[in-house]
Amino acid sequence: MAEASPTAVRQTLIRCLREDPAHPDIPALVEQLERQQPADLDADGSLLTGVWELRWSSATQPWLKQAPWLENLQVLDPGRGRGMNLLRLKGPLAAVAAISVIAELAVTGRQRVTVTFRRGGWIGPRLGGQRLELLATVKQSFPAWLDITVLDAELRICRGNAGTVFALLRRPDLDLEALLPAEASSGSRSE
């Protein structure tokens, strides 16, 4: 039996991620697309920048999985060495009920992005032009990285240093600058 074209596999995977993130075919579609359409950050690294929503994960931890009542976002700005994982409720409470982990990022190979977690905690709404935050320094005791295995303008698949596979869809409706705290940039405020 012939393998489906990369375009057909990609379209099927994106449809599953949008409509049924628990679909049993997702792991096989991810593996097939990784073989057919491998990422090359040297050529396409600029596509990393933006807001991405986790739609499927091989993880067992609930904060690394998709849930219908949560937005599990990755906000990436590797050109400025910054990123953030943001877990928030969907709907009107999104601005007041967000947990974040802020990191420094560096593209270190054709598929690898190193991650150094710096601070984590609660990020609230903007009041009077300033965002409310309650963040503490994160003591990262291990090297962390993501291998970006598939990357295009809409879809990102990656494998973490612990072996977890993630499939994310771009969220063009969300603004990277509005979500990232100003001090999330590299070499910023120390605590």
108-150 confidence digits (pLDDT tens) = 999 999 999 999 998 887 788 777 888 899 988 888 999 999 9
Q: Please determine, for residue 15, whether its predicted confidence score (pLDDT) is greater than 70.
A: yes
Containing structural domain, residue 159: 38-184
**Is 139 part of any domain?**
yes
Flag whether 8 is in a domain. Answer: no
pLDDT, residue 182, reads 67
Q: Is residue 30 part of a domain?
A: no
187 vs 41, more confident: 41
**pTM of the predicted structure, to 2 decimals:** 0.89
For residues 126 and 105, give the distance between their C-alpha atoms in angstroms, rounded to a whole number: 25
Instruction: Assign residue 155 the CATH number of its domain.
Output: 2.40.128.280
First to last CA, the chain: 58
Residue 142: inside a domain:
yes
24 domain residue, yes or no:
no
Residue with more model confidence, 63 or 149 = 149
Q: What is the pLDDT of residue 91?
A: 81
H/E element, 129? none
Residue 99 has pLDDT above 70, yes or no: yes
Q: Considering the domain boundaries, does residue 53 fall inside one?
A: yes
Does some domain include residue 18?
no
Q: What percent of the chain has pLDDT over 70?
A: 93
Q: Residue 54 — pLDDT band, cuts 50, 70, 90?
A: very high
pLDDT of residue 187 exceeding 50, the answer is: no
The mean per-residue pLDDT over the stretch 78-101 comes to 87
Q: What is the pLDDT of residue 186?
A: 39
Q: Let me know if residue 78 belongs to a domain.
A: yes
Rounded Cα distance, 185 and 78, in Å: 10
| Average pLDDT in the chain | 89
Q: For residues 126 and 109, what is the distance between their CA atoms, to the nearest angstrom?
A: 36
Per the structure, the count of domains in the chain is 1
Local confidence band at 84 (pLDDT 50, 70, 90 cut-offs) = very high
